[in-house]
Amino acid sequence: MHRTFFIETFGCQMNKGDSDLMRLSLEKAGFIEANTSEEAEICLFNTCSVRQHAEDRAVSRIESTKYGKGGRKKIVVIAGCAAQRIGDDIVKSGRADIAVGPYQSPMIGEIVKDYIENGFKCRSLFVSQNTEDFQERLNEGLINSREENPWHKWVTITHGCENFCTYCIVPYVRGKLISFPSERIIQFIKDLAAQGIMEITLLGQNVNQYGQDSGDIPFYKLLEKTAQVEGLEKINFLTSHPMDFSTEIVRVMADHPNISRGIHLPLQSGSDSVLKRMNRKYTMKSYMDIIEAINRTLPDYAISTDLIVGFPGETEDQFNETLDAVKKIRYDEAFMYAYSPRKGTPSFKLEEKLSRNEKIDRLNRLISLQREISLEKLKSRIDKTENAIAERISKKSSEEISGKTSLNHPVVFRGDAGDLGRVIPLRITEVRGSTLFGEKI
């Protein structure tokens, strides 16, 4: 009987959460986690399909894993978004033994056990996402998932997405929106707080659409109920969509200081024409309305975004509109990408006029503008008072503690193990790279 397993995770936070569910399910089925893929008898690859490069990297890892040291055959499992897209082919060609989609994560232990005991030759499994069983097990995983930061938990509130942004593969591999029942979510969060968890992140592809599929309470009410859970010092939410980001969310944030002041609001492009081709369903005007509502309501906050340059048909003027938006909004941080066509998405069929080099040139111009702004904004924190959750002893010095401020900036300060898991008021003294340094008040 194969007993040891190793999970290699690619891609986003949702995948990391699914890997936690897989680990839990495998351990429940009697398997033991190995330290490396070389040692493991069962290798699971939780793949990402968002970019061709990510998918190719996962497939190449799968192809090189089939045999361990001494030529011993391993059981190889392809899971996650790429499995949903190409898993069947990978299994049929003999490169993997089992393919499962993202919605089998909580059952993977039984699937692997069944495979071993019944000696199936190969197996591809993609069941419906909307099963009671799935929700039940997902919820179990919420409580038990492991994290690097012992005071924090990710709490998945929705799965799937039906927004169909034209560059994005997610709706095709993760399926329709499902919101987990709010009563269950709040109960889990209460249980987490009772276990000493201080910070949570509500997670979904578009959290602002929470409840739209099920008729449950809207997102801002879920956020409000979460903020009222006793013992929670900080609540984050990811990812927001400007189409659904209502002013009620801003009001709830203003009413509850334990909701993080670090807001992530993906803009993608500053050009209405490009936004339309991306099928983003908002305009620069409606995006700016949200920014103005935040400015009016929250005295201090940090804002981050995602930006894509070189989308098919993006002219120099349209790219300049993105630069203008960045100058106007002054993001604290931005995740910036040059567009790369993704097979299986509608924009794959759009004609590209820019060469790779031209896209990279635009990306570099955007990055250098954003770097300047990020640094100026970080420096503007000097001499301010910030509350930070002390997360861990710094890797660089046993006398330093690292954590994050309520605006989600990484921060380091002199302290000791007694600070861990507490909210520490700090005066910011310095910026090094993208980290703030402070001293206890």
Residues 298/303/306/310 CA torsion (nearest 10 deg): 100
From the list 150, 171, 231, 410, which residue makes contact with ligand SF4 (rule: CB under 6 A)?
171
Give the nearest distance from C-beta 171 to ligand SF4 in angstroms: 5
Judged by beta carbon, residue 241 or residue 359, the one nearer ligand SF4 is: 241
Q: Does 161 bind ligand SF4 (CB under 6 A)?
A: yes
Judged by beta carbon, residue 44 or residue 203, the one nearer ligand SF4 is: 203
Q: Does 165 bind ligand SF4 (CB under 6 A)?
A: yes
| Contacts of residue 87, Cβ cutoff 8 Å, sequence gap at least 6 | 78, 96, 99, 100, 101, 124, 126
Residue with tokens 């409000």: 224
Contacting range for ligand SF4; rule: CB under 6 A; set: 160-168, 296-304, 358-366, 416-424:
160-168
Q: Does 241 bind ligand SF4 (CB under 6 A)?
A: yes
Q: Does 206 bind ligand SF4 (CB under 6 A)?
A: yes
Contact 364, 406 (CB under 8 A): no
From the list 163, 246, 283, 304, which residue makes contact with ligand SF4 (rule: CB under 6 A)?
163
Q: Does 168 bind ligand SF4 (CB under 6 A)?
A: yes
Nearest to 362 by CA among 345, 383, 341, 338: 338
Query: How deeply is 334 buried, as exposed, middle or buried, from its count of CB atoms within 10 A (0-12, 13-18, 19+)?
Result: buried
Q: Does 201 bind ligand SF4 (CB under 6 A)?
A: no
- Kindly report the backbone phi and psi dihedral angles of residue 167, in degrees, each rounded to the nearest multiple of 5, phi listed first: -95, 0
Give the nearest distance from C-beta 278 to ligand SF4 in angstroms: 8
Contacting range for ligand SF4; rule: CB under 6 A; set: 156-164, 307-315, 333-341, 377-385:
156-164
Sequence-ordered strand ranges (E) for 272-348: 302-309, 333-338
Burial code (b: 16+ CB inside 10 Å, e: under 16) for 52-83 equals eebbebbbebbeebbeeeeeeebbbbbbbbbb
Q: Please name the amino acid found at residue 263.
A: I
Give the nearest distance from C-beta 14 to ligand SF4 in angstroms: 9
Q: Does 170 bind ligand SF4 (CB under 6 A)?
A: yes
Q: Is the peptide bond before 239 cis (omega within 30 degrees of 0)?
A: yes
The total number of residues shown for the chain amounts to: 441
Judged by beta carbon, residue 243 or residue 373, the one nearer ligand SF4 is: 243
Contact 100, 111 (CB under 8 A): yes
Q: Does 209 bind ligand SF4 (CB under 6 A)?
A: no
Write out the H or E segment, with its range, that includes residue 9: strand 4-9
From the list 46, 179, 205, 260, which residue makes contact with ligand SF4 (rule: CB under 6 A)?
205
Give the nearest distance from C-beta 355 to ligand SF4 in angstroms: 25
Judged by beta carbon, residue 158 or residue 402, the one nearer ligand SF4 is: 158
| Contacts of residue 93, Cβ cutoff 8 Å, sequence gap at least 6 | none
Judged by beta carbon, residue 46 or residue 206, the one nearer ligand SF4 is: 206
- Residues of this chain that interact with ligand SF4 (CB under 6 A) are 161, 163-165, 168, 170-171, 205-206, 241
